[in-house]
Chain A
Amino acid sequence: MPVKLILRNKEYEVKPGMMLLDALKKIGVVPESVIATRNGEMILEDEILKDGDVIKLVAVISGGMW
């Protein structure tokens, strides 16, 4: 089963066994601009993604509405 990454309404798939940082680079997402969560818990860039993981990427940039 592939690993699924979701950012806003876009979905990406990568192979399991990859490090999160490499997965982000692969799908063209700037690591500094997102926080990754799995089952609601934040995970770090050195996390190895496993079979069937669903990673929700939370965009951190907003337009300055504070």
Chain B
Amino acid sequence: MKCKKCGEKASVNMRQHKLALCKEHYLEWVPEQTERFIKKYEMFTRDEKILVAVSGGKDSLALWDILHRLGYQADGLYLGLGIDGGIGYSHESQRLAQKFADERGLKLHVVDIEKEYGQPIPVLSEISHRGHGKPCAVCGLVKRHEMNRIARDLGYAVLATGHNLDDEAAVLFGNTLNWSSEYLLRQGPVLPSSDGLARKVKPLCRFYEREMTAYALARGIEYIYEECPYADGSQSIYYKELLNQLETTRPGAKLTFYLRFLEARKRGDLFIEQNIEHAHLHACPKCGQPTSTDDYCSFCRMIEKVNAVSAK
């Protein structure tokens, strides 16, 4: 496969966009697209101070890298969760986040949960008996709370996270399976600021997880490859695998699933009963069955076409 821009050998192929690019042009394309989404969803401007939630994983480091390359005022926030899992998970992810910041001269705020609240995440979870034996619920709760707190205390208008399209599609899939209307109506690339909390934005929400991995690899970003020890067997990973199977046979399925949802929600189409009279149905002049076109219905047009072809 050849790069669409220069004809050299392609390194990344995005079947959903029918676009293959070489490494060099891919590294140009990603920030261009990010800039486009930042503007399209009115996420932030170059005058605003942005706090990027950095986990040491590929998505958040790639996000920070892109914002920095685009000239935004983006500082990092690392939350020390105190998760070891036999692989020194938190320790290693903090090291990589710090290394990334130091190499680029960026500012990284570090908050250690154990120092702030006396216990690391797994113990907070155990003691509080929340989340059915897994610390993920408490972890999510603590992360949201702390990100809001730090952004407010340090005067950041915007909080940016590295959620990619696969993250969003997996959440959407879960919420759709349960028809969780209140969650569905809240999910999106931007959560406006309210009650003194910073605006929350997801600038990578239209990139596939695979594209962010390719970006991190192509940029030579060193990220934590090990999975959080508690994420093993998690629902979101299961949904992502299912969606990737779908994507393999139907390129673009994930993107369509997410974008059509955003469009429907924006139009106010979600969970509002359609007014049948508004549908403007007419009787087909040939068979009399209702149709949305002014002319023959789809069935009659199909038969007419078949007859026309057969008559030749």
CB neighbors of A among B123-158 (8 A):
none
Q: What is the size category of the interface that chain A forms with chain B? A: 20 to 34
A48 interface contact, C-beta 8 A: no
**Number of A-B pairs, beta carbon distance below 8 Å:** 85
Least CB distance, A45 to chain B, in whole angstroms: 7
Q: Which of B214, B218, B240 has the largest number of chain A CB atoms within 10 A?
A: B240
Question: Chain A's nearest CB lies how many Å from the CB of B38?
Answer: 17
Contact A42 B58 (CB under 8 A): no
- B98 on the A face (CB < 8 A): no
**A62 vs B212: C-alpha distance when bound (angstroms):** 11
Q: Give chain A residues whose Cβ lies under 8 Å from the Cβ of B245.
A: 30, 32
B55 lies within 8 A of A65 (CB): yes
Q: What is the chain B residue whose CB lies nearest that of A46?
A: B1
Q: Which of A30, A31, A64 has the most chain B CB within a 10 Å cutoff?
A: A64
Mask, B193-221, CB within 8 Å of A = 1, is: 00000000000000001101110011000
Q: Fill in one digit per residue for A4-47: 1 if any B CB lies within 8 Å of its CB, else 0.
A: 00000000000000000000000000111101010001111110
Chain A residues engaging chain B, CB cutoff 8 angstroms: 30-33, 35, 37, 41-46, 58-66
Could you name 8 residue pairs across A and B whose Cβ atoms are closer than 8 Å?
A: A32-B210, A33-B240, A35-B217, A61-B240, A64-B167, A64-B234, A65-B231, A66-B162
